[in-house]
Amino acid sequence: MHVEPSPLKTHAAIRDARRRGLRIGCVPTMGALHPGHVSLVQRARAECDFVVATIFVNPTQFGPNEDFSKYPRTLEADLEMCRAAGADLVFTPQISEMYAADAETIVRVTKLSTVLEGAHRPGHFDGVTTVVTKLFQITEPDLAYFGQKDFQQQLIIRRMVLDLNIPVTVVTCPIIRESDGLAMSSRNRYLSAADRAVAAEIFQALQLAEQLARESLAAPAEIAERMRAHLEATGTMQVQYATVADPQTLAPLETWQRGTSGVALIAAKVGTTRLIDNLLLEF
Amino acid sequence: MHVEPSPLKTHAAIRDARRRGLRIGCVPTMGALHPGHVSLVQRARAECDFVVATIFVNPTQFGPNEDFSKYPRTLEADLEMCRAAGADLVFTPQISEMYAADAETIVRVTKLSTVLEGAHRPGHFDGVTTVVTKLFQITEPDLAYFGQKDFQQQLIIRRMVLDLNIPVTVVTCPIIRESDGLAMSSRNRYLSAADRAVAAEIFQALQLAEQLARESLAAPAEIAERMRAHLEATGTMQVQYATVADPQTLAPLETWQRGTSGVALIAAKVGTTRLIDNLLLEF
């Protein structure tokens, strides 16, 4: 496995692989890898000939009051996980190599970026779409792998890829969970033991939503309220949103109709740690 | 020469050429071709193995009060000029194939896009950078050719290519002029005979700027004033800007210093026709 910080050399290595007729898979990450990320690299390994993972804690997707400076950096462990999962190349750029001092170009998905996560984290998705465009130009993948955990993110990236004709197929991979259902996240390590126990209620709320939807016991807005009530019953969780939305537009779902699918989405702060999770409601 | 309206088929044809090891050159145009465009195709022909021209009157770069609907469409003549200049492929997409009804992604060069043309044509450069990003993704060129006539445009595209790591080399080609110096433009055909005569004063003003700069007779701001005075002396021209700017930042140049270069830029309306032109001041 090759570890390469240079954008130009990464591009050259991948061009070379492409020239040899290899199918390129890319897994963009911010490092602090966990089994969720590993599942993406493994999926890329199974479907592609040449697998590139990228590790870059992208400053432009963090708000001024967010955790950029204390975001976990665990490069050695990350590289070991990439190696074990079968990556051929890991791209590990420095910030100065990714952003020129006079850089001023942004890629913006104007509507999907403004709701839910976008409403709570202004500018976040501009940072995501801009850096992912850059990573796609550098790594020129045939397929790119994202986790369903960041549901809105994968939707926005799909929209961007379509709108900009970027020649990549976006693959969304299932959420990997702890044994009690907590979605794996690099931020889980911030949780105290008490908060860690409370955090498991997020998945309980999503499962409640699924049960209510499956049994047609409640309209989408009612289900959203039931999720919120479940989370607030913990006494300590600050719910930022709990919604049942259209999985394509993210607009709140109005009614269940034959063939309707939805996605239950939650963002909540547990202690000082902000967690998100979601569950597709498809029957 | 192949004429192809489909983005997917264009992409496939170019991927095939690339797989054969060919060097791809792209010339993005809005049609209504004139010898300026022909010079771009010829340059691409000389430097590349496979030359693609694109003809697309991009609606998103026209303002609501601009000339999108009456922009000249001369497809048959355009194709003949492309053929004669040696294009291998001409990409001629429909609007509906370029913009999905629910498209919502923009590429924005945030600073350079706001001055000069950007100040007079709000949103114009967002349309340009977005469509050029799309054309670059579809045609995946090694080199892309733009005219210096649209000086700010080529600068913005260079900035975007750097900022987004798009693997293309931008080549800027000299302005092609009529015998009296008027820069070739698709919009010149709108000029009445009287306006056509007045329009030639734009190049006269630029040459005045060059002479004053060469002879160090005036500071940049004075030269800009002299250009404006020259244009306004026509009695009929409405000057939108006349400036001597830094060729990298487009900020008004303050002083001439050893090794300073500048660019004289003019936008003016002659009758109802808006014309732009520029001249590099490098000594």
Q: Is residue A66 part of a domain?
A: yes
How many CB contacts within 8 angstroms connect chain A with chain B?
78
Residues on chain A touching B11 (C-beta within 8 angstroms):
165, 167
H/E element, A14: helix A7-19
Whole-number pLDDT of residue A216: 79
Q: How many domains does chain B have?
A: 2
Is pLDDT of B259 > 90?
A: no
Q: What would the mean pLDDT of B114-132 be, rounded to a whole number?
A: 98
Distance CA A141, CA A143 (A): 5
Nearest to B130, CA basis, from A91, A133, A251: A133
Contact A137 B166 (CB under 8 A): yes
Q: Looking at the complex, does the CB of residue B96 fall below 8 Å from at least one CB of chain A? A: no
pLDDT category, A283, cuts 50, 70, 90? confident
Q: What would the mean pLDDT of A221-235 be, rounded to a whole number?
A: 98
Q: What would the mean pLDDT of A167-181 be, rounded to a whole number?
A: 98
Q: Is residue A181 part of a domain?
A: no
pLDDT category, A282, cuts 50, 70, 90? confident
Whole-number pLDDT of residue A262: 96
Whole-number pLDDT of residue B142: 98
Q: Is residue A178 part of a domain?
A: no
Supply B197's token pair.
């005569």
A147 and A251 assigned to the same domain: no
Q: What would the mean pLDDT of A189-195 be, rounded to a whole number?
A: 96
Catalytic residues of A: 37
Whole-number pLDDT of residue A175: 98
Mutate to test the interface with A, among B102, B163, B168, B246 (most CBs of A within 10 A): B163
Q: What would the mean pLDDT of A94-117 be, rounded to a whole number?
A: 98
Nearest chain A residue to B99 by CA: give it: A163
Q: Looking at the complex, does the CB of residue A105 fall below 8 Å from at least one CB of chain B? A: yes
The residue written with tokens 């800009």 in the block is B224
Whole-number pLDDT of residue B257: 84
Contact B164 A105 (CB under 8 A): yes
A203 and A165 assigned to the same domain: no
Whole-number pLDDT of residue B216: 79
Residues on chain A touching B130 (C-beta within 8 angstroms):
164
Whole-number pLDDT of residue B212: 95
Q: Is residue A179 part of a domain?
A: no
The residue written with tokens 């049609």 in the block is B31
Q: Which of A173, A199, A216 delimits the end of a domain?
A: A173
pTM: 0.97
pLDDT category, A193, cuts 50, 70, 90? very high
Q: Write the pLDDT tens digit of every residue in B194-234.
A: 999 999 999 999 999 999 999 877 999 999 999 999 999 99
Q: Looking at the complex, does the CB of residue A248 fall below 8 Å from at least one CB of chain B? A: no
Q: Looking at the complex, does the CB of residue B101 fall below 8 Å from at least one CB of chain A? A: no
> Which long-range CB contacts under 8 A does A102-106 form with residues at least 24 apart?
A103/B162, A103/B163, A104/B109, A104/B110, A104/B111, A104/B112, A104/B159, A104/B163, A105/A130, A105/B107, A105/B108, A105/B109, A105/B110, A105/B129, A105/B159, A105/B160, A105/B163, A105/B164, A106/A130, A106/B107, A106/B108, A106/B110
Is pLDDT of B27 > 90?
A: yes
Q: CB neighbours of B4 closer than 8 A, spacing ≥ 6?
A: B10, B13, B89, B90, B91, B92
Nearest-neighbour CA in chain A from B160: distance (Å): 6
Q: Is the model more confident about A259 or about A126?
A: A126
Q: Looking at the complex, does the CB of residue A163 fall below 8 Å from at least one CB of chain B? A: yes
pLDDT category, B98, cuts 50, 70, 90? very high
Contact A11 B165 (CB under 8 A): yes
B201 and B143 assigned to the same domain: no
Instruction: Quote the ipTM score.
Output: 0.97
- A233: domain CATH number is 3.30.1300.10
Pairing type for strands B262-270 and B237-245 reads antiparallel
Mutate to test the interface with A, among B134, B135, B164 (most CBs of A within 10 A): B164
Nearest to A115, CA basis, from A216, A251, A269: A251
Is pLDDT of B35 > 90?
A: yes
Whole-number pLDDT of residue B81: 98
Contact A107 B166 (CB under 8 A): no
DSSP state of B251: P
Q: Is residue B179 part of a domain?
A: no
Q: What would the mean pLDDT of B151-159 be, rounded to a whole number?
A: 98
- A77: domain CATH number is 3.40.50.620
Is pLDDT of B283 > 90?
A: no
Q: Looking at the complex, does the CB of residue B133 fall below 8 Å from at least one CB of chain A? A: yes
Residue A211 β-bridge partners? none
A69 and A168 assigned to the same domain: yes
A203 and A274 assigned to the same domain: yes
Q: Which of A140, A173, A206 delimits the end of a domain?
A: A173
B42 and B153 assigned to the same domain: yes
pLDDT category, A50, cuts 50, 70, 90? very high
The residue written with tokens 């199918």 in the block is A23
Mutate to test the interface with B, among A164, A168, A246 (most CBs of B within 10 A): A164
Is pLDDT of B260 > 90?
A: no
pLDDT category, B273, cuts 50, 70, 90? very high
B218 and B275 assigned to the same domain: yes
Q: Write the pLDDT tens digit of every residue in A57-100.
A: 999 999 999 999 999 999 999 999 999 999 999 999 999 999 99
Residues on chain A touching B129 (C-beta within 8 angstroms):
105
Q: Is residue B202 part of a domain?
A: yes
Q: Looking at the complex, does the CB of residue B160 fall below 8 Å from at least one CB of chain A? A: yes
B142 and B42 assigned to the same domain: yes
Whole-number pLDDT of residue A211: 96
Q: Write the pLDDT tens digit of every residue in A23-34.
A: 999 999 999 999
Nearest chain A residue to B135 by CA: give it: A165
Residues on chain A touching B166 (C-beta within 8 angstroms):
137
A19 and A157 assigned to the same domain: yes
8 A C-beta contact, residue A121 and residue A259: no
Q: Is residue B181 part of a domain?
A: no
Q: Looking at the complex, does the CB of residue A251 fall below 8 Å from at least one CB of chain B? A: no
pLDDT category, B57, cuts 50, 70, 90? very high
- List the end-to-end C-alpha distance of chain A, in Å, as a whole number: 42
Q: Write the pLDDT tens digit of every residue in B5-26.
A: 999 999 999 999 999 999 999 9
A146 and A38 assigned to the same domain: yes
Q: Which of B103, B163, B167 sits opposite A105 (nearest CB)?
A: B163
Q: Is residue A261 part of a domain?
A: yes
B166 and B108 assigned to the same domain: yes
pLDDT mean across residues, chain A: 97
Q: Which of A173, A198, A228 delimits the end of a domain?
A: A173
Q: What would the mean pLDDT of B120-145 be, rounded to a whole number?
A: 98
Distance CA A113, CA A127 (A): 11
A236 and A122 assigned to the same domain: no
Whole-number pLDDT of residue B282: 87
pLDDT category, A217, cuts 50, 70, 90? confident
Is pLDDT of A248 > 90?
A: yes
Whole-number pLDDT of residue B82: 98
Full DSSP string of A122-171: TTHHHHHHHHHHHHHHHH--SEEEEETTSHHHHHHHHHHHHHTT---EEE
Whole-number pLDDT of residue B29: 98
Question: A15 is in which domain, residue-wise?
Answer: 2-173
Nearest chain B residue to A19 by CA: give it: B19
Nearest-neighbour CA in chain B from A22: distance (Å): 12
Nearest to B135, CA basis, from B252, B198, B56, B224: B56
